[in-house]
Structure 1
Amino acid sequence: MKFLNIKTKINLLIEKAKYNAAKPLADKILGFISLIESIIFPIPVDPFLAGLTLAAPKKVLKFALFCTIGSVIGGVVGWLLGYFIGPSIENILLNIPWFTEEKFMAVKSAYNENGMLIIFLGAFTPLPYKIITITSGMAGINIIGFVLMSLVGRGIRFFIVAYLTKIFGMPALLFLQKHLLLSSSILGIAIILFSIYIF
């Protein structure tokens, strides 16, 4: 039996999401998937969101909202894991010959200086948000700031995905499947440049 590639798996998940969109618990299941995606689930939640929106466009606001809230709650869990288990992880890393304490402190310092920007990038772009959440906890990033930046980043991302799917239908879904990394990265950079220009 051949293993299905990631794209095929995502397509199957989209079809399953579309099939279950009308069910009463669809939005809550989406929120739960979004939560675990922020901690450990390897496949982005965007295809689920797009599939549900395509099948039930009238629920677009609810789907995007549940997806955002679930993701941020999962992010907080990741932050807590990093905060409380962080010292143990640090000790493991410091036992690696080339990973010196000086290097670790340099990385931690850089994260402290640019933590909010890194959180936004992790929340909005296809950067692994789950890694950002745990690292934020390890670095001791302010939890309130973390939640706010996660809400902004995840909210913008998921509402864009949901409303583009509602407005343009299947073409938008196909575009997101093929170009999610490119499109979200470009938009993320544009937002950062605009923020720098304004402030």
Structure 2
Amino acid sequence: MKVFTALYDKALVWAQHRRAPSILAGVSFAESVIFPIPVDVMLAPMAIAQPEKAFRFALLTSIFSVLGGIAGYFLGMLAFEPLVLPALEYFGYQDSFVLAQNWFAEWGFWVIFLAGFSPIPYKVFTVTAGVLAIAFLPFVIASIIGRSMRFFLVAWLMRWGGPIMEKHLRQHLDTIGWAIVALAVIVYLIVR
């Protein structure tokens, strides 16, 4: 079943749209607060489709992702009971939230950096940072560093690899996509 290849083809078409950078900014912001799909799935095709703008897209993604992280921080700080808790329950993130609290207690600043760079759900950590009233400036600095490293790495790989990367990515996209889905399910079952 070529589900991921079809989605990738659509993303390449959308990446050429004149409003693609605005959509990328909006998705970057939303992904850091509540949106469940990583913004990389939009950034990578845009960087491949327009390699001369790859780093500009990475910068845009980084800025709006950090701004979304700041919104998540204040959401956690100011509206945990009425908004965040019901959302955590609805999306099934309660266990992730407890895990995030434990990680903050153990590693502090480094948790935000790790969540910003890795595929760990950054949004859970932004909200948790606000709930726990983690120091704001270190939170922002860790977010800037972690998110920028991640998105510039994606942009660089897509720009550097160009048509060869696109060919190999396209060839193995469904295998990679289904492997990531399987890994996510396994991680969920282990954490749960």
Partner of 1:29: 23
Instruction: Confirm or deny: 8 A CA contact 2:51 2:162 kept in the other structure.
Output: no
Q: 1:170 to 1:82 in 2, by over 3 A?
A: farther
1:76 matches 2:70: yes
Partner of 2:39: 45
Q: In structure 2, what is the Cα distance between the partners aligned to 1:147 and 1:18?
A: 32
1:19 matches 2:9: no
Partner of 1:145: 138
Greater RCO, CA 8 A, separation 6+ = 2
Instruction: Confirm or deny: 8 A CA contact 2:11 2:42 kept in the other structure.
Output: yes
Instruction: Confirm or deny: 8 A CA contact 1:112 1:141 kept in the other structure.
Output: no
Instruction: Confirm or deny: 8 A CA contact 1:49 1:64 kept in the other structure.
Output: yes
Aligned residues: 162
Q: How many Å apart are 1:126 and its aligned residue?
A: 0.6
| Deviation larger for 131-140 or 162-171 | 162-171
Partner of 1:166: 159
Q: How many Å apart are 1:170 and its aligned residue?
A: 5.2
Structure 1 counterpart of 2:148, which letter? G
Residues 33-182 of structure 1 correspond to what in structure 2 (within 5 A)?
33-86=27-80, 111-112=104-105, 114-169=107-162, 172=165, 174=169, 178=176
Q: 1:76 to 1:58 in 2, by over 3 A?
A: same
SS at match of 1:169: helix
User: Which runs of 5 or more structure 1 residues have no equivalent in the other structure?
Assistant: 91-103, 182-199
TM-score by length of 1: 0.69
Instruction: Confirm or deny: 8 A CA contact 1:39 1:130 kept in the other structure.
Output: yes
User: Which runs of 5 or more structure 2 residues have no equivalent in the other structure?
Assistant: 86-97, 181-192
Q: 1:151 to 1:13 in 2, by over 3 A?
A: farther
TM-score by length of 2: 0.72
Q: 1:11 to 1:154 in 2, by over 3 A?
A: farther
Q: Looking at CA atoms only, which structure, 1 or 2, has the larger radius of gyration?
A: 1
Deviation track 1:103-138 (CA, whole Å, cap 9, x = no partner) reads: x8xx85862452211101110001110100000001
Identity rate, percent: 38
Instruction: Confirm or deny: 8 A CA contact 1:79 1:138 kept in the other structure.
Output: yes
Cα RMSD after superposing both structures: 3.0
